[in-house]
Chain A
């Protein structure tokens, strides 16, 4: 699946997007965040306060317990500040 990052989450991770292939045990957004945090300091920094970072699955807002099976694109980003 493809991961995309925005705003300070993108800056902390150090990339705009990447393709990942998490193990089968990773079944929800929260699992995915925990798995990403094991991949390096940049992810640990981006997700250090998990409750702050928001997620979307295929362009729809998703809660931490949302299943990720079949997702094509998962986005992580800070709380929104448009308008």
Chain B
């Protein structure tokens, strides 16, 4: 199964990434795309700063893709995560899951996002609208619960 993993400062193009995944692949019947964006939290934020662990970030995304491949019949996966300063309205993360049928693609995309949030070494810090640097965002308990829900028999 083709797996594309990229950790980059630059933005990405969802349509171009989808074409790259599906080109020459008449076996693919479904692609589910999840795109995560930076929000402004009702005008409170000017940006999110994303720090990452180079090397491990790519390795962990590849491990998560391999885990998804053991659970679902997938035809391809693309995982892209940005780092650096990202403004409200800009894209942060992309998961593309391709399969012959929609259910595997939907489930794999959800699984990958839930695991990515708790396992991939990225950390967000708030930059506030008044120009000051805010706090590191705390991990959400709901994200841990989402991961546990995939581990129940």
Contact = CB atoms under 8 A, between A and B. Distances in A.
Interface of A: 4, 6-8, 56, 59-61, 75, 77-83
Residue of B53, B81, B116 with highest tally of chain A CB at under 10 A: B53
Contacts of A82: 50, 52, 81, 93, 116-117, 120-124
Contacts, number: 71
Interface in B108-149: 113, 116-125, 136-140
Contact of B123 (A7, A59, A60): A7
Contacts of A4: 53
Contacts of B123: 6-7, 77-78, 80-82
A75 B57 CA distance: 12
Given A60-B56, A83-B93, 14 more contacts: A61-B119, A75-B53, A77-B53, A77-B121, A78-B123, A79-B118, A80-B120, A80-B122, A81-B136, A81-B139, A82-B52, A82-B93, A82-B124, A83-B117
B55 interface: yes
A8 B92 CA distance: 21
A82 B116 CA distance: 7
Residue of B113, B117, B121 with highest tally of chain A CB at under 10 A: B121
B121 A81 contact: no
